[in-house]
Amino acid sequence: MRTAPTILHLDMDAFFASVEQASKPSLRGKAVIVGGLGPRGVVATCSYEARVFGVHSAMPMAQARRLAPNAAYLAPRFALYRAVSEQVMTLLRALSPLVEPLSLDEAFVDLEAGEAAWDAGSARLSGAKLRADIRAVTGLTGSVGLAASKMLAKIASEQAKPDGLVLIEPGTERALLGPMSVRTLPGVGPATGDHLRRAGIHTVEELAEAGEDELVRLVGRAHGHALYAMALARDERSVVAERETKSVSVEDTYDVDIHDRVRVGLEVQRLADRCVRRLRGAGLSGRTIQLKVRRYDFSTLTRSETLRGPTDDPVVVREAALRLLEAVDTTGGVRLLGVGVSGLADFTQEDLFAQAAGEAVQVAEDESREERSKEDAEEPQERRWAPGRDVHHAEHGHGWVQGSGLGRVTVRFETPTSEVGRVRTFRVEDPALSVAEPLPLVRGPAGRGAWS
C-alpha cells in the first residue's frame, strides 16, 4: 500500500437532486426527491432537505410521499445529469490520466499518476482545488476523501459528506477503522452483516481479532480472505482508467402490468429504437440483441440473438427484439421490459462498404432527430407532462412541469439563470406548449453564490 494519501475519491452530494435545485430557482433550499413517480417507483436521490424527514435512496416512492408529502417529486432527467457529470469528469482528468468513474457522480483519481500530489500536504491542496473548481464550473458541491488506498478514500469521502474533505493519514488507518461497524467495509451488505453479528462480530476491530481462519469458516474462502485484509486496512487495488462500455440497454417499469400482447410488442419496438439512439450517440454498434422481460410474478426472463455483424440499424434491432419476444410467454402480465445491445464495436457492417462517411453520419443524425420527434409525438401523456420535465411555451418561454391531471398541466416558468418564476396552467393539448431540452447550468461571474 502507498505511503502517501494520493488516492482521491469524489462523491457528488445528492447529485440528481442538486442538479434539479440548481436548474430550478424555486426549489433551492427545498426538499426535492427524484425517482420513479408511479406506484412502483423508488427514490433515486433526494436532497439533504428531504433526508431530514427520513427519506433516502432506494426507498419506495409511496413511503417517501408519506414521510415528506410537501416535497417536490420529480422524474429524472438523465441527459442533463450526464452533461453535468462530464463537466466534473473533465476536471478530474485534468488532475490525472488515471480516473476510474464508478457512476455519474462518483470516481476515484490517482493523484500520483498525474503528479498532482506526492504527500499529504499536496494531496489536500489538490482536493481543495478540485472542490472549488467543481463549484465554480457547475455550482454543485462534492465531498472528497483522500487516503493511501481506494477503500479508505471512499470511507473518507463518506465521512466528509456533505460538502467536505477528509484526509486519512497513513499509519492511522487501523485506529480509525477499529470502532467502525463491519457494514462500513465494501462488500459487507445486510446479509453478511447479520451473519457476522450473529457470530458476535460487530466492529472492524472485532473482525480483525476473529482471525482469517475464522472468517473463512464463517463466510467462505474468497470473502473471508478479503474481509480479513480489509479489517487490517490492506487494499492494494489500483485506480483503473475508464473501462470500455460492454453493452447499451434501456428498460421501463410499468405502473400497471401490461396484458395486451400487441401493446407489449409496441413497447419492445419503442425500447429498441431508444437503445439504437443511445448506440448512435456513443458512436457504437453491436452484434448481440438482448430482450429482458419481468413478468407479473417477478420472474425475469432474458433472451438474446447474435447477428452476423455489428449494426446500429433500428429496423434490424427492432426485428431481432420482436423475434426474441415470440419465445417469451407474457400470459399473466408484464411489469418490466428491456432491450439491450452488446458485442459492441465502433463500426457497423455497412461501414465497411460506405463510400461517403461524412454523408452517412449526417443521415444517421437526421434519422435520429426524426425518430426522437416521432417518439415525442407518440409519447403517453403521463410521461410527456411528467413533473420536472422541461417545456417551452411560445409566449412565456422555458419552464418545467409542476404537475398535470384532468387534462391540465401546470408549468413554472424559470431557468437556471432567472429569478423564481411564475406558475401558469394550460390545457395539455395547448399548441403553444411543447416538450423542450434541458438548459445547461451556467455559473455567474466571480463565483457568486446566486445563479445569474
Residues 202 and 122 in one domain: no
Query: pTM above the 0.85 mark?
Result: no
Mean predicted confidence (pLDDT) in 27-35? 96
Residues 149 and 226 in one domain: no
Mean predicted confidence (pLDDT) in 320-334? 91
- What phi and psi values does residue 437 have, to the nearest 5 degrees? -85, 150
Residues 32 and 146 in one domain: yes
Write the CB contacts of 240 (distance below 8 Å, at least 6 apart in sequence). Answer: 98, 100
pLDDT of residue 448: 35
Does any domain span residue 446?
no
Q: Given a cut of 80, is residue 263 above it in pLDDT?
A: yes
Mean predicted confidence (pLDDT) in 264-273? 95
- Cβ contact 47:30 at 8 Å: yes
Peptide bond into 162 cis (omega under 30): yes
pLDDT of residue 443: 55
Angle (nearest 5°) at CA 97 between 94 and 101 = 90
Q: How confident is the model at residue 353 (pLDDT cuts 50, 70, 90)?
A: very low
pLDDT of residue 310: 85
pLDDT tens for 90-105 read 999 999 999 999 888 9
Does any domain span residue 80?
yes
The letter for the amino acid at 274 is R
Q: Which domain holds residue 411?
A: 382-435
Catalytic residues: 106
- State the cell numbers at 311: 449494426
Per-residue H/E/C for 198-247: HCCCCEHHHHHHHCHHHHHHHHCHHHHHHHHHHHCCCCCCCCCCCCCCCE
Residues 356 and 308 in one domain: yes
pLDDT of residue 192: 82
Q: How confident is the model at residue 324 (pLDDT cuts 50, 70, 90)?
A: very high
Residues 319 and 399 in one domain: no
Number of structural domains in the chain: 4
Dist. CA 150–CA 72, nearest whole Å: 35
pLDDT of residue 244: 63
Dist. CA 108–CA 149, nearest whole Å: 10
- What phi and psi values does residue 271 have, to the nearest 5 degrees? -65, -40
* DSSP per-residue string spanning 163-210: S-EEE--TT-HHHHHTTSBGGGSTT--HHHHHHHHHTT--BHHHHHHH
Q: How far is CA 175 from CA 4, 153, 208, 231, in A?
A: 17, 15, 12, 11
Q: What is the CATH number of the domain that holds 64?
A: 3.30.70.270
Write the CB contacts of 284 (distance below 8 Å, at least 6 apart in sequence). Answer: 245, 248, 312, 344, 345, 346
The mean-pLDDT minimum among 34-38, 305-309, 419-423 falls in 305-309
Distance of CA 83 to the CA centre of its chain: 12
Residues 352 and 408 in one domain: no
- State the cell numbers at 62: 409511496
Q: Tell me the average pLDDT of the chain.
A: 87
